[in-house]
């Protein structure tokens, strides 16, 4: 174990020298104060791993010094060991009441001092490690929340640009996550599914408005451009480390079970599972939503449509699971 930074407050030169000799052999770095006021000043400068406090000191005794250490937010968690010539119950209780973590009596036994100091320093380092880990976890969670808030903002912007029915991205995301839970994906995988579903059409940012918003049918040349949007998504998201595991849906959600989809004409289980699940949610929401050129389909017709495409457009094993999850769905009143 690496040596600790230890602050010793004792007005007796002999006592300070003894403590220094006992603890320096274990690699600890010793700093000396001759009274409580000096101890407080040095403690704020050094932020030591441990403070050894003599009780009887001029200007400010060890008990009052300990109380002030505990009242200082910067020093409140620093371990303190009271050292006293008194070894009675009252003295020990007074030390604990002042905030001390341990109590040693003079004359100091070198072995006891070294063992107790080693134990306290080790426990304090474990505590600091735990606190650091907790702080890292808090920072990580905050970062993840910021990521997901950003993604949600992107998805809303994409819905508006593509003139989709309001809430399309959120609805298909919720359906796909529900499906992922039903097939038993892990929480980590579901997180990536959620992000991928929210960003499923981010590649459409690369499609010109004249094509994206064209009221009539697209020409073959325009369809070629439109079919590039999954490729754009792949190119844009791949360099972003935390989004790389979410790429399957933006890149592959237009692939079809029979290999007739795009952009890579993947087929069967060669299509990533998350993209196969998302395709069901995407078609369901598209059919159920009103469009300028048609009204949304009733639930029964959408179910029939999806069932009819199992084995061609959709994974024949996933389609029944998806429909079962929507068995209780009814048309809006």
Measured between alpha carbons, how far is 197 from 169 in angstroms, rounded to an integer? 7
**pLDDT band (50, 70, 90) for residue 209:** confident
Structure tokens at 175: 């359906």
Q: Which residue has the higher pLDDT, 141 or 13?
A: 13
Q: Are 8 and 19 within 8 A, CB to CB?
A: yes
Residue 293 has pLDDT above 70, yes or no: no
Output DSSP code: residue 167. Answer: T
Q: What is the per-residue pLDDT for 268?
A: 97
pTM reported for the whole predicted model: 0.60
Answer yes or no: are the C-beta atoms of 73 and 37 closer than 8 Å.
no
Q: Can you name the residues that pair with 8 across neighbouring β-strands?
A: 32, 52
Please state, rounded to an integer, the average pLDDT across all residues of the chain: 88
Q: What is the dihedral of CA 126, 131, 136, 141, to 10 degrees?
A: 130
User: In angstroms, rounded to a whole number, what is the distance separating the alpha carbons of residues 66 and 63?
Assistant: 5
pLDDT tens by residue, 239-283: 888 889 999 999 999 999 999 999 999 999 999 999 999 999 999
Say whether pLDDT at 291 is over 90.
no
Q: What is the pLDDT, as a whole number, of residue 162?
A: 62
What ranges do the domains of the chain cover?
A: 5-133, 162-325
pLDDT band at 225 (very low <50, low <70, confident <90, very high): very high
CATH number (1.10.230.10, 3.40.50.2300, 3.30.200.20, 3.40.50.1100) of 5-133 reads 3.40.50.2300
Can you tell me the mean pLDDT for 106-130?
83
pLDDT band with cut points at 50, 70 and 90 for residue 119: confident
Q: Find the mean pLDDT for residues 163-172.
A: 76
Hey, how many other C-beta atoms are within 10 angstroms of the C-beta on 189? 15
**Comparing C-alpha atoms, which of 147, 150, 197 is closest to residue 172?**
197
Pairwise pLDDT comparison (217 vs 135), residue with the higher score: 217
162-325 CATH fold? Hypothetical protein af1432 (1.10.3210)
Helix extents (H) in 162-256: 168-182, 187-198, 209-212, 220-226, 229-237, 248-252
């Amino acid at each position: 174990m690496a040596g600790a930074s230890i602050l010793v407050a004792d007005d007796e030169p002999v006592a300070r020298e003894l403590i220094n000799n006992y603890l320096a052999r274990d690699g600890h770095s010793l700093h000396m104060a001759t009274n409580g006021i000096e101890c407080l000043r040095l403690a704020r400068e050094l932020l030591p791993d441990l403070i050894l406090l003599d009780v009887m000191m001029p200007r400010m005794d060890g008990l009052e010094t300990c109380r002030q250490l505990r009242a200082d937010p910067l020093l409140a968690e620093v371990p303190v060991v009271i050292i006293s010539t008194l070894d009675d119950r009252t003295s020990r209780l007074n030390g604990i009441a002042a905030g001390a973590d341990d109590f040693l009596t003079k004359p100091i036994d070198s072995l006891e001092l070294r063992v107790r100091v080693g134990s306290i320093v080790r426990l304090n380092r474990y505590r600091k490690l735990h606190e650091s880990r907790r702080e890292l976890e808090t920072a990580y969670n905050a970062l993840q929340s910021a990521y997901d808030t950003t993604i949600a903002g992107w998805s809303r912007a994409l819905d508006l640009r593509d003139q989709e029915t309001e809430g399309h991205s959120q609805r298909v995301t919720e359906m796909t996550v529900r499906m992922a839970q039903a097939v038993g994906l892990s929480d980590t995988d579901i997180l990536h599914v959620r992000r991928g579903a929210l960003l499923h059409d981010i590649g459409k940012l690369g499609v010109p408005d004249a094509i994206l918003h064209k009221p009539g049918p697209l020409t073959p040349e325009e369809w070629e451009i439109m079919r590039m949007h999954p490729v754009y998504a792949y190119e844009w998201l791949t360099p972003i480390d935390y989004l790389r595991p979410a790429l399957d849906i933006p890149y592959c959600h237009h692939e079809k079970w029979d290999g007739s989809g795009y952009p890579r004409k993947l087929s069967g289980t060669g299509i990533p599972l998350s993209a196969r699940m998302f395709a069901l949610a995407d078609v369901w929401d598209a059919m159920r939503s009103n469009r300028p050129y048609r009204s949304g389909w009733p639930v029964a017709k959408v179910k029939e449509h999806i069932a009819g495409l199992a084995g061609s457009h959709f994974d024949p094993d996933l389609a029944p699971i998806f429909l079962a999850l929507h068995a209780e769905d009814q048309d809006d009143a």
